[in-house]
Amino acid sequence: MTEEAEYDVAVIGYGPTGVTAANLLGALGLRVAVIERDAEIFTRARAISTDEEVLRVWQRIGLADRLKLDMLGDLPLEFVDAKGEPFLCAHPVPRGHGHPPQMFIYQPALEEVLREGVERYPNVELLLERECLRVVQDEGGVELTLVHTGEDTVRRLRARYVIAADGGSSLTRAQLNIGYEGRTYEDRWVVIDTEMLEPWEGHDRLRFHCDPARPAVDCPTPLGHHRWEFPILHGEDEKELVTDAAIWRLLSRYGITAANVKILRATVYSHHVRFADRFRVGRVFLAGDAAHAMPPWIGQGMAAGVRDAANLCWKLAAVLRGELPDSVLDSRPPRRARSSTRPAFCSPGWTAARPRRPCCARTATSTPQPPRPRPYPPRPRASSPVQPRGTNDDDHTGPP
């Protein structure tokens, strides 16, 4: 382990975090290896929205304008009641970053453009279908053991630093014995992606359906797509819920039929709130979902990974060039992702769509009412907030 490193930085994982890091490091002129287990982009659509801070990062690598061609911006957001009547509306207000504050995306298309961006850099070597199985470091660098998943061959490479952007189930995080504390919510959601065929009333806005019987999210996504998300109720069969028959049943509640949309895919997800207990061990840095996971509600999971990449890459370049001390790499705020929730919700632009019923509407003199049944109560929480290992069915978002 004393030989010269072949690469300045090895990036494990080529999701949105890894591909952003590859672009940034490529533009900085570093020798980079990108290691990705899969042959193709992961097509199961996940992220549907992002913000202007993320676009500023992609602007830095010259891709914002191209990416925005495949995004929808300036769409209103509504909270509607069980009858579909809006009671709270928002139109996110620009905050002076030069991009709309919320942009709707189609993650596979976005990743494709980011990957095309990496092709500009001959100094970035792409190793697809390679799974990184082992990371061993010494004073001078890190040795990675890769298995070619198609050919079953093994290769070792050496880099001075490693960015582990290998997702929520990060093998690197496990190897480094880094905890991933937090909680996994017991409620699970079925996420349905569709291709829009015939528009319907309200198709052009993000709507949170606040129906106590079964809340729902419906959201336009670019390139002719539309996303639906529904919680799974007690006693429902998850396998049945992803069949076409069940999906049409769910969508028909909102008047959506086969004339409106074509079903592309349906997946059941758990939502996590987790943080790695360290983001750095020696020369290895966790980034993206490998370092933190959050529920999708405010569209900040991928965004936080992009910010990680932006935070790390210029520092790595400066340290590798001897311009800054290694200690600058410790300056990444440990709870960075947590603060990212604030701007998303605190932006101005919220308006009540109709006068709110005062909280004191039910007075002591009003006729006593029997308690209303709540068909969608939150389930009782498990006594241990940590989900047992191996119970998540989606290793791209869940802990191992």
Ligand X SMILES: Cc1cc2nc3c(=O)[nH]c(=O)nc-3n(C[C@H](O)[C@H](O)[C@H](O)COP(=O)(O)OP(=O)(O)OC[C@H]3O[C@@H](n4cnc5c(N)ncnc54)[C@H](O)[C@@H]3O)c2cc1C
Does residue 127 belong to the site contacting ligand X (CB under 6 A)? no
In which residue are the tokens 């069940």 written? 246
Binding mask of the shown chain, residues 234 to 273, with x at each position contacting ligand X by CB under 6 A:
-----------------------------------x----
Cβ proximity of 320 and 313 under 8 Å = no
Contacting ligand X (CB under 6 A), which of 289, 344, 387, 398? Answer: 289
| Between 30 and 309, CB nearer to ligand X | 309
The DSSP symbol for 116 reads: H
How far apart, in whole angstroms, are the C-alpha atoms of residue 86 and residue 91? Answer: 13
CB burial string 331-364: b at 16+ within 10 A, e below: ebeeebbeebeeebeebeeeeeeeeeeeeeeeee
Residue 378 CB, nearest distance to ligand X (Å)?
19
Taking CB under 6 A as the binding criterion, the range among 13-21, 239-247, 349-357, 379-387 that sits at the site for ligand X is 13-21
In which residue are the tokens 């052009």 written? 204
Does residue 17 belong to the site contacting ligand X (CB under 6 A)? yes
DSSP labels for 145-170? EEEETTT--EEEEEEEEEEE---TT-
Does residue 26 belong to the site contacting ligand X (CB under 6 A)? no
Residue 218 CB, nearest distance to ligand X (Å)?
13
- For the record, the structure tokens of 281 come out as 């061990």
Residue 203: closest CA among 267, 269, 259: 259
Farthest-apart Cα atoms in the chain, separation: 83
Residue 97: closest CA among 331, 303, 351, 293: 303
| Between 81 and 394, CB nearer to ligand X | 394
Q: Please give the span between the terminal C-alpha atoms of the chain, in angstroms, as a whole number.
A: 29
Does residue 396 belong to the site contacting ligand X (CB under 6 A)? yes
| Between 257 and 339, CB nearer to ligand X | 339
Contacting ligand X (CB under 6 A), which of 303, 310, 313, 317? Answer: 303
Binding mask of the shown chain, residues 36 to 65, with x at each position contacting ligand X by CB under 6 A:
xxx---x---xxxxx---------------
Pairing verdict, β 7-12 and 86-90: unpaired
Taking CB under 6 A as the binding criterion, the range among 7-15, 205-213, 234-242, 329-337 that sits at the site for ligand X is 7-15
| Between 15 and 100, CB nearer to ligand X | 15
Residue 289: closest CA among 135, 192, 172: 172
| Between 23 and 300, CB nearer to ligand X | 300
How far apart, in whole angstroms, are the C-alpha atoms of residue 333 and residue 311? Answer: 10
| Between 16 and 86, CB nearer to ligand X | 16
Does residue 305 belong to the site contacting ligand X (CB under 6 A)? yes
In which residue are the tokens 């409106």 written? 260
Pairing verdict, β 225-231 and 292-293: unpaired
Does residue 399 belong to the site contacting ligand X (CB under 6 A)? no
User: In the window 354-383, what residues touch ligand X (CB under 6 A)?
Assistant: none
Pairing verdict, β 206-209 and 77-80: parallel
Half-sphere exposure of 149 (CA within 13 A, CB side): 13
Residue 49 CB, nearest distance to ligand X (Å)?
4
| Between 263 and 353, CB nearer to ligand X | 263
| Between 325 and 390, CB nearer to ligand X | 390
Residue 165 CB, nearest distance to ligand X (Å)?
5
Sign of CA dihedral 127, 132, 134, 139: positive
Contacting ligand X (CB under 6 A), which of 32, 132, 281, 320? Answer: 132
| Between 42 and 314, CB nearer to ligand X | 42
Does residue 300 belong to the site contacting ligand X (CB under 6 A)? yes
Taking CB under 6 A as the binding criterion, the range among 8-16, 24-32, 94-102, 196-204 that sits at the site for ligand X is 8-16
User: In the window 139-198, what residues touch ligand X (CB under 6 A)?
Assistant: 165-167, 171, 191
Does residue 101 belong to the site contacting ligand X (CB under 6 A)? no
How far apart, in whole angstroms, are the C-alpha atoms of residue 51 and residue 101? Answer: 5
Residue 306: closest CA among 93, 15, 82, 106: 15
- Number of chain positions touching ligand X (CB under 6 A): 36
Interaction site with ligand X (CB under 6 A): 12-18, 35-38, 42, 46-50, 131-132, 165-167, 171, 191, 269, 288-289, 296, 299-303, 305, 396-397
